[in-house]
């Protein structure tokens, strides 16, 4: 996801999107994963010179990326979407009050897993397939793909708020899919999300996708295994909990009772609850279709003094 925290910082992107031709290029890439320059020029009935100028504009503002590959007719440039979501915060003054951290998918603080399961770095499998013992291997901090049929992964999110700050919204961005032996594009799985032990809702992954190779998968990754997931954006604020803008529960930040002293944990889980208990796969930067790990973003309010933040200075430190 590309996040624009204020209108002025997004001027280059807005200019790029002002062209009908460039919008058509983005639509073609969204529907075709990747296309070379000749294919784009042919479909839009433009010269190679004209398409190159439009593609350069989109690349410069970060909307698309280009990689070179050897084809039947020599070197070709392949274009693909850098991200498939664009978020613009119109409240630029408030948007300054945020921080974002990227957490490697292998940096979980707690876990529980049952086969089929496993994890891998961008260079190799860690241990053996379907052996939960390797989830405790020290090399797991370098993992960039993790899969499990049942259980959970829990991550500790740093809390950088000060005494005169209060939480306004928490966001998580991650690439997820189901977990089938091998892969199965039609394999729905109910994946549940929790913050500090409070379930905020769930999402049903449509499948464990493997029909085409993931854009960022390393060359050694076997073609008969899962290849990519879906990028999801989870948000919790004063109005409820949402995924990709759709409400998943009425749980609010007030229900979680967070303040500047709180620990902050985020859990992704699959259970034995029917009907769709079919595991999860979490993709990191060097796997799947999105070059990112787990992204956590905290938006907060700044108050003139501690009293105005809604905190009682006499409250004990046990509040979480």
Domain final position from 31, 51, 81: 81
Angstrom distances, CA of residue 306 to CA of 101, 102, 313: 25, 29, 8
Query: Residue 308: is its pLDDT beyond 60?
Result: no
Q: Looking at the predicted structure, is the pLDDT value of residue 307 above 90? A: no
CA distance 21 to 28: 11
Those residues with Cβ within 8 angstroms of residue 42's Cβ, 6 or more apart along the chain or in another chain:
none
For residue 86, what pLDDT is reported? 81
Instruction: Supply 42's token pair.
Output: 């042919």
Task: Indicate whether 110 and 48 sit together in one domain.
Answer: no
pLDDT in tens, 90-117: 765 545 799 999 999 999 999 999 999 9
Asked if 245 and 102 sit in the same domain, the reply is yes
Higher pLDDT, 137 or 309: 137
Residue 314 confidence class, pLDDT cut points 50, 70, 90: very low
Same domain, 77 and 105: no
Residues 177, 69, single domain; the answer is: no
User: Residue 194 is part of a domain; what is its CATH number?
Assistant: 2.60.120.260
The closest alpha carbon to 125, from 143, 107, 110, belongs to 143
pTM: 0.71
Mean pLDDT in the chain? 89
- How would residue 173 be classed by pLDDT, with cut points 50, 70 and 90? very high
For residues 39 and 11, the model is more confident at: 39
Note whether residue 320 is domain-resident. no
Do 73 and 110 have their domain in common? no
Measured at the alpha carbon of residue 32, what is the angle toward residues 61 and 34, in degrees to the nearest 5? Answer: 50
Is the per-residue pLDDT at 71 higher than 80?
Answer: no
235 within domain boundaries: yes
Residue 318 lies in a domain: no
Residues 57 and 162 in one domain: no
Contact 86, 16 (CB under 8 A): no
Claim to verify: residue 175 and residue 261 sit in the same structural domain = yes
Domain of residue 203: give its range: 97-302
| Interval 250-266 mean pLDDT | 97
Are 206 and 254 members of one domain? yes
| 159 lies in the same domain as 210 | yes
Q: Is residue 86 situated within a structural domain?
A: no
Q: Extract the tokens encoding 83.
A: 């991200």
Same domain assignment for residues 108 and 231: yes
Question: What is the CA angle 146-150-153, rounded to 5?
Answer: 50
Domain end point (choices 32, 47, 81): 81
> Domains in the chain: how many in total?
2
Q: Which residues contact 111 (CB under 8 A, 6 or more apart)?
A: 135, 151, 152, 153, 154
Q: Tell me, yes or no, whether 271 lies in a domain.
A: yes
Task: Check residue 168 and give its pLDDT.
Answer: 97
Across 53-57, 103-107, 114-118, 134-138, least confident range: 53-57
The predicted-structure confidence for 296-306, as pLDDT tens digits, reads as follows 999 999 998 65
Q: Tell me if 310 is assigned to some domain.
A: no
Q: Quick one: 55 and 101 in the same domain?
A: no
Question: Does residue 308 lie in a domain region?
Answer: no
- The answer to which of 21-30, 159-168, 270-279 has the lowest mean pLDDT is 270-279
Helices (H), ranges, the chain: 11-16, 20-32, 37-44, 48-60, 92-95, 253-256
pLDDT at 309 over 70: no
Structural domain contains residue 254: yes
> Could you tell me the CATH number of the domain that includes residue 41?
1.10.10.10
Same domain assignment for residues 105 and 136: yes
Mean pLDDT value of segment 218-245:
95
């Amino acid at each position: 996801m590309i996040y624009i925290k204020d209108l002025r910082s997004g001027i280059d992107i807005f200019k790029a999107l002002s062209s009908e031709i460039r919008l058509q290029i983005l639509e073609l890439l969204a529907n075709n994963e990747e296309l070379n320059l000749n294919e784009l020029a042919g479909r839009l009935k433009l010269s190679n010179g004209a398409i190159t100028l439009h593609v350069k504009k989109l690349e410069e503002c970060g909307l698309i990326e280009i990689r070179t590959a050897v084809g039947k007719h020599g070197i070709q440039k392949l274009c693909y979407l850098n991200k498939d979501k664009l978020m613009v915060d119109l409240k630029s003054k408030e948007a300054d009050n945020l921080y974002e951290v990227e957490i490697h998918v292998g940096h979980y603080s707690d876990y529980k897993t049952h086969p089929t399961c496993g994890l891998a770095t961008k260079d190799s499998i860690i241990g053996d397939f379907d052996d939960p013992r390797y989830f405790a291997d020290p090399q797991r901090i370098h993992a960039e793909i993790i899969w499990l049929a049942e259980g959970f992964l829990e991550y500790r999110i740093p809390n950088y708020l000060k005494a005169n700050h209060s939480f306004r919204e928490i966001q998580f961005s991650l690439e997820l899919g189901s977990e089938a032996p091998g892969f199965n594009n039609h394999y729905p799985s109910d994946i549940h999300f929790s913050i500090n032990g409070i379930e905020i809702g769930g999402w049903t992954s449509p499948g464990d996708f493997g029909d085409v190779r993931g854009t960022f998968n390393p060359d050694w990754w076997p073609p008969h295994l899962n290849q990519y997931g879906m990028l999801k954006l989870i948000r919790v604020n004063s109005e409820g909990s949402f995924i990709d803008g759709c409400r998943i529960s009425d749980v609010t930040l007030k229900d979680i009772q967070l303040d500047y002293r709180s620990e902050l944990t985020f859990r992704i889980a699959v259970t034995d609850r029917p009907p769709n208990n079919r595991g999860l796969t979490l993709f990191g930067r060097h796997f799947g279709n999105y070059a990112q790990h787990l992204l956590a973003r905290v938006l907060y309010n700044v108050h003139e003094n501690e009293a105005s933040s809604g905190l009682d200075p006499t409250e004990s430190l046990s509040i979480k």
